[in-house]
Chain A
Amino acid sequence: MTVAVIQFGGSNCDRDAVRALDYLGVDAERIWHEDGLPEDTTGIMLPGGFSYGDYLRAGAMAARSPIMDEVRAATDDGTPVLGVCNGAQVGSESRLTAGAFTTNKSARFQCEHVHLRVENADTPWTEAFDEGDIIEIPIAHGEGRFEITDERYEDLEQNDQILFRYCDEDGNLTEEANPNGSTHNVAGILGKTDSVAVLMPHPERSTLPDIGGTDGQGILAGFQS
């Protein structure tokens, strides 16, 4: 079981991701995007960072790189894929998930701890939680505002594809608790199947007990199942 953490030029959370996965006992290695996916890949993580300097739109360039064809093919076989932050932007730009992540409502880069409400606990990424649980995980992004057409949003809701929403510490979905102005406070969603997920917050930054909270462990545990 090896999780390929795909490193693009400008990725910068790839090492953190490998360390966090190692801590959870999940074999993981960094894979340079030009080298392609190793044969023994059993999971794929698209890490945070600033791939291609966020040229054009965050994630736009990496989403069109050849390794993403391999990632798409792997998702067809049910290989778990998790996109975090810039990886979430790459995931949506490559149409693995619906909608788009664009400029924060504040027009600023925001680096802070946020609360998330677990909206669907029946997925590999949220099995560790119960629906309605409130977890705390950091964000660090300038383009995390989730935008989607009304029609596609209804599809997401009906198909139970919304994983997390930004909330206050009591679980209320308020505007103040929505750090970037995301549509209906959406922080993370599923792809066509629940083996594919993207989220803007950083679970790998809240996994190692030495550096603070550990709520991210439950999300990364999706690679264990």
Chain B
Amino acid sequence: MSTYTATVTVRLKGGVLDPEAETTKGALQRLGFELSALRAADQYELDLEADSADEATERAEEMAERLLANPTIHDYEVSVAEAANAK
């Protein structure tokens, strides 16, 4: 068993309006910054014990499917690394 850190990034699917991101973009523009788009995402870092990186990935994907993301509006990505300093 090793300790892995799985990073789950949850973002809205392309085409789904993100009013908070639009508001944030507008605020940046009011501050004088130039940008054409702003996309926001939620990121979760999960420390877990697993036999392999594949197993850690699989478990993190299941967590995303069951709770962290809502498949109707979200896409998600999982990346896994062996934890250097997992607490």
How many chain-B residues does the 8 Å CB contact rule pick out? Answer: 13
Are the C-beta atoms of A107 and B67 separated by less than 8 Å? Answer: no
Chain A interface (Cβ < 8 Å from any Cβ of B) = 56-57, 60, 64, 92-93, 98-100, 102-107, 145, 147-149, 152, 181
Chain B interface (Cβ < 8 Å from any Cβ of A) = 16-20, 22-23, 66-68, 70, 72-73
- Give the contacting residue for A107; candidates B16, B19, B66, B68; CB below 8 A: B19
Are the C-beta atoms of A103 and B19 separated by less than 8 Å? Answer: yes
Are the C-beta atoms of B70 and A107 separated by less than 8 Å? Answer: no
Are the C-beta atoms of B70 and A57 separated by less than 8 Å? Answer: yes
Are the C-beta atoms of B70 and A60 separated by less than 8 Å? Answer: yes
Q: Which residues of B contact A56 (CB under 8 A)?
A: 67-68
Known: A56-B68, A64-B67. A147 touches B73 (CB 8 A): yes
* CB-CB nearest in chain B for A105: B19
Alpha-carbon distance A56/B16, docked complex (angstroms): 18
Are the C-beta atoms of A147 and B18 separated by less than 8 Å? Answer: no
Known: A56-B68, A64-B67. A107 touches B73 (CB 8 A): no
Alpha-carbon distance A103/B68, docked complex (angstroms): 17
